A and B are shown apart, each in its own frame.
Chain A
Amino acid sequence: MKCPACRVPMYVAEYQQIELDLCGRCAGVWFDSGELALLLGDQRPLDAAAALTDEATRSCPLCDKPMAKVNIGPGRRVLVDRCPRGCGLWFDGAEVAALAADLDAAAWGLPAAVHGFIREMFPAKGGK
């Protein structure tokens, strides 16, 4: 699978039997919907609002459809890409770092399990 931002092959990191796809160049993270489902069961993965932005549109690394930009995070200022077909979510490197550093999952509109896993996976950036 190729990074939707840099188009180089991504590597995979697995922790507690959950996998993330990572880009070695831009540190972006792909959270596959299959993995989100393993974390969440039937819960909705993301409470987000569609965003208007001039950030470049990225294509889903799985189905190649253009992904939608959605605002999450405190004040809804952080942009995340979401596949319209529901393949998964894409976080830019900086977004993941900000997300991992913040203790408050509710402020991000993410279920606690997802936020908790990201904090587990990126503790160095989370100041643990």
Chain B
Amino acid sequence: MWEQIAANRRKSILLVMSSALLLGVLGWALGVNFMGRNGGVPGVMMALVVWLVMTLTAWYQGDNIMLSVAGAHRVQKEDLPQLFNVVEEMTLAAGLPKMPAVYVIDDPAPNAFATGRRAENAAIAVTSGLLRTLDRDELQGVVAHEMAHIRNKDIQLMLFAGVLAGAIVILAEGGLRGMWLGGGRSRSRREGGSDGSGIVAILAVVLMILAPILAQLIYFAVSRKREYLADASGASFTRYPEGLASALEKISRAPQRLGGATSATAPMYIINPLKRTGEMAANATSTHPPIDERVRILRSMAGGGLADYERSYREVTRGGGVIPASELSSGAAAAANQPAREASAGPAPSARENARQVDDFFYRKDGYRKLDCACGTTLRIPPDFATPAAKCPRCGTLHDLR
């Protein structure tokens, strides 16, 4: 998807530049407001320092920040073999240079995201709820969707967007709070002045209110269309659109809400974690396209290719296409490196086995002690368990813990 990648690079640069501009104007407004007329230049300077720090932070630490905000833990192949197999397969199908690091978030709400600077050091994170809820085909669909984000360089753009939107929100909130507490120059002292500072102050307030909204709008603008594109590429990696369609349905219907999601990280996820099931309807400022539309497009695909997605997209949305023309014409080339789906699907572990695999990982991580009772029950004792013995509910055996 070279056209898409180039577009993303352009947008990344545009985003970094426009956020510099936005921060600069915000800095000027804050400077004038707090330091008077001559405060504009120092304000801009300060804002540009903030911008530089945020951009460098986004570039060098953004993925780690995103992962730690989400509460993600790195896992190895022996911890979750099925998830690893799926990620390995999809790394090949997407033609990524290196397998992304795999992370798991201990949260019953099913969701997933990918992050990183570039494909060589990307990471993919899924919640324990996702692993519990989805079967292998569905998990493959979700992982393929995230792989598409990595390959299309969406992750880089989202990283910048996330960190910069966060910075602008923090600055603007700080400025507003400062004014609220009386730190700003009060207008009454300069009342009647002909230098127009009253207007400047009003402008500053308006800017401080508008900046976070603008930052969010930039963020929204970059994230909607790429969800469709990631669905299209994901479906073409697995050649099985139904897997992703059914996964999206299950994720959106799950009653739980994700604990570690904030408005700055929400657009990263495969499904917006901040919306309840009933609120999934389409609206103009949504970071994600409506789920039922994504599902309908995937379900009406005649085959597993990009061209099939494009046709289906045009039919369902009754609008223009979504996939760049250059990509559609090279669709045959993309099809050549598809692994046969049937060959890769081994005997699928049951949902229960999956659930136990995920839980075992977190029990080990949290230092639980495992006791196998003779009756076939397994007991797991937390490290801070208060009583000296634990009773097996099935056979009544008292296990001494000392």
How many Å lie between the Cα of A28 and that of B99 in the bound state? 45
* Structural contact, B355 and A34, CB atoms closer than 8 A: yes
Is B186 at the interface (CB under 8 A from chain A)? no
Is A123 at the interface (CB under 8 A from chain B)? yes
Is A43 at the interface (CB under 8 A from chain B)? no
* Structural contact, A24 and B391, CB atoms closer than 8 A: yes
Is B381 at the interface (CB under 8 A from chain A)? yes
Cross-chain contact of A124 among B257, B376, B378, B394 (Cβ < 8 A): B394
Q: Using Cβ atoms and an 8 Å threshold, which residues of chain B touch A62?
A: 108
Cross-chain contact of B393 among A22, A35, A87 (Cβ < 8 A): A22
Is B353 at the interface (CB under 8 A from chain A)? yes
Contact with B along A33-54 (1 / 0, CB 8 A): 1110110000000000000000
Is A9 at the interface (CB under 8 A from chain B)? yes
How many Å lie between the Cα of A57 and that of B372 in the bound state? 35
* Structural contact, B132 and A24, CB atoms closer than 8 A: no
Chain A, Cβ-Cβ closest to B382: A9
How many Å lie between the Cα of A113 and that of B3 in the bound state? 53
Q: Which residues between 61 and 114 of chain A lie within 8 Å of chain B, taking CB atoms?
A: 62, 85-87
* Structural contact, A13 and B379, CB atoms closer than 8 A: yes
Chain B, Cβ-Cβ closest to A32: B108
Cross-chain contact of B385 among A11, A15, A19, A121 (Cβ < 8 A): A11
Given contacts A25-B387, A34-B108, A87-B256, contact A13 B356 (CB under 8 A): no
* Structural contact, A18 and B352, CB atoms closer than 8 A: yes
Contact with A along B297-336 (1 / 0, CB 8 A): 0000000000000000000000000000000000000000
Chain B, Cβ-Cβ closest to A125: B393
* Structural contact, B393 and A24, CB atoms closer than 8 A: no
How many Å lie between the Cα of A33 and that of B109 in the bound state? 11
- Tell which of A20, A34, A120 has the most Cβ of chain B within 10 Å: A34
Q: Using Cβ atoms and an 8 Å threshold, which residues of chain A touch B396?
A: 124
Given contacts A13-B394, A22-B393, A123-B394, contact A38 B355 (CB under 8 A): yes
Chain A, Cβ-Cβ closest to B385: A9
How many Å lie between the Cα of A62 and that of B132 in the bound state? 17
Cross-chain contact of B377 among A13, A37, A86 (Cβ < 8 A): A13
Chain A, Cβ-Cβ closest to B386: A8
Chain B, Cβ-Cβ closest to A128: B394
Contact with A along B356-387 (1 / 0, CB 8 A): 10010001000010000000111111101111
Q: Using Cβ atoms and an 8 Å threshold, which residues of chain A touch B352?
A: 16-18, 38
* Structural contact, B108 and A120, CB atoms closer than 8 A: no
Measured between C-beta atoms, what is the minimum distance from A46 to chain B in Å?
14
Is A14 at the interface (CB under 8 A from chain B)? yes
Cross-chain contact of B394 among A9, A24, A120 (Cβ < 8 A): A120
How many Å lie between the Cα of A21 and that of B331 in the bound state? 51
Q: A8-B387, A16-B352, A37-B132 are in contact. List 5 more A-B contacts (CB 8 A).
A: A9-B385, A17-B356, A38-B132, A62-B108, A120-B394
- Chain A positions near chain B (C-beta within 8 angstroms): 8-20, 22, 24-25, 32-35, 37-38, 62, 85-87, 120-124
- The 3 nearest A-B residue pairs measured at CB: A17-B352, A86-B255, A12-B380
19 contacts between A and B (CB under 8 A): A9-B382, A11-B381, A12-B363, A12-B379, A13-B377, A14-B356, A15-B376, A16-B352, A17-B356, A19-B356, A24-B390, A24-B391, A25-B386, A34-B355, A35-B355, A38-B352, A85-B256, A122-B394, A124-B395
